[in-house]
Amino acid sequence: MKRRQFSRLLASAPLLLPALVRAQDGTAITLIVPYPPGGNTDYVARITSDSLRRTLGSSVVVKNQAGAGGTIATDALIRSRNDGNTLMVGSIGQVSLVRFLFNVRYDPLNDLVPVANIASNPLVLTVPSSSRFQNLAQLIEYGRAKPGALTVAHGGEGSMSHMSVLVFLKRAGIEATLIGYRGGAPALLDTMGGTTDLYSANISEILPYKDSGRIRFLGVSSRQPVPQLPGVPAIADTISGHEIETWNGLFAPPGTPAEVVDRLADAVQVMLRDPDVLSKFDASGSQPRAGEVKEKFARRIRDDIALWTPLVSLIGVKPAN
């Protein structure tokens, strides 16, 4: 069969996978999510589960296993059988950043098999619509002039809302009062209500409220502005070199056979060519990462660690016991 013909077949028909990838005897593939339902990682995982079900011809069950910044779920994946029937949609937190945040037993570079990155998201500096701050320059001026006066919400120690805002505050020269919440949802709600002054939100969290009249966006953490938030500048326009993003990718247990990883990676690429999936990602502000598979995905993780090593030193974060 010619390569072009095979590519068409791959894009339009279920993959013909060996028993190692297909769930056997009615056993569903388990897709672990290291966070509670409702967040961005859960959203990406449910889109992924639907696509894998169609492509692999097998049932896929999403299992939310939250706790300890996603390390409980990651431990569970590592201990699973490496037959392709247990996978995880993980994020930067329990992979690239985990050694900075937690004393864990696993090595993210050697104990996880990176199958394919799925999508990435920028963070958005968000204030209530009633805020005195109309732009980033005003917020920075106020924060510098009144140390500790600015109240900053985050979704918990080590979350990206926490880590990203610490980097911003340090680079901006602001001392602020940080208020931690159990997850991003209550942090965002309190910011919209005016209880806190600032929240660094995943773009997928704030897009549903874009036209609500309850929040204002001061800057995005991507290198360039994003089309979903027209008129909102990049933070890098004010703080040179500021660029932070998070991502969600598919992982398998250690020792998963190469042919299984190959076919799972192919299945993710099929998903990232699906117009319906691309429309959902666009609506959530997610940037698909087609082609970032296996070693390319592993390289991103290594690059993340290199990027965050000096940033963690800058903000003074230490691993939790």
pLDDT, tens digit, for every residue of 117-135? 999 999 999 999 999 999 9
Mean pLDDT value across residues 160-187: 94
pLDDT score of 20: 44
CATH superfamily of 122-237: Periplasmic binding protein-like II (3.40.190.10)
Q: Is residue 263 within 8 Å of residue 275, measured between CB atoms?
A: no
Topology of 29-120+246-315 in CATH? D-Maltodextrin-Binding Protein; domain 2 (3.40.190)
Mean pLDDT value across residues 213-218: 97
pLDDT score of 185: 86
Helices (H), 146-220: 160-172, 184-192, 203-206
The single-letter DSSP state of residue 320 is: B
CATH 3.40.190.150 intervals, the chain: 29-120+246-315
Q: How confident is the model at residue 5 (pLDDT cuts 50, 70, 90)?
A: very low
Residue 67 has pLDDT above 80, yes or no: yes
Task: Give the N- to C-terminal CA distance of the chain in Å, as an integer.
Answer: 56
The closest of 217, 218, 222 to 206, measured between CA atoms, is 217
Mean pLDDT value across residues 99-109: 94
pLDDT score of 156: 85
pLDDT in tens, 37-62: 888 899 999 999 999 999 999 999 99
The single-letter DSSP state of residue 102 is: B
Q: Which two tokens stand for residue 99?
A: 């050694």
Which residues fall within 8 angstroms of residue 291, CB to CB, at 6 or more apart? 269
Q: How confident is the model at residue 321 (pLDDT cuts 50, 70, 90)?
A: low
Residue 247 has pLDDT above 90, yes or no: yes
Helices (H), 13-70: 40-56
In the block, residue with structure tokens 């949609």: 89
Q: Is residue 252 within 8 Å of residue 270, measured between CB atoms?
A: no
Question: In percent, how much of the chain has pLDDT > 90?
Answer: 83
16 versus 123: the higher-pLDDT residue is 123
pLDDT in tens, 261-294: 999 999 999 999 999 999 999 999 999 999 999 9
pLDDT score of 304: 96
Partnered with residue 83 across adjacent β-strands are none
CATH 3.40.190.10 intervals, the chain: 122-237
Partnered with residue 200 across adjacent β-strands are 125
| Alpha carbon distance 121, 296 (integer Å) | 18
Pairing of strands 245-252, 86-91: antiparallel
Q: Which two tokens stand for residue 156?
A: 């918990």
Q: Is residue 162 within 8 Å of residue 188, measured between CB atoms?
A: no
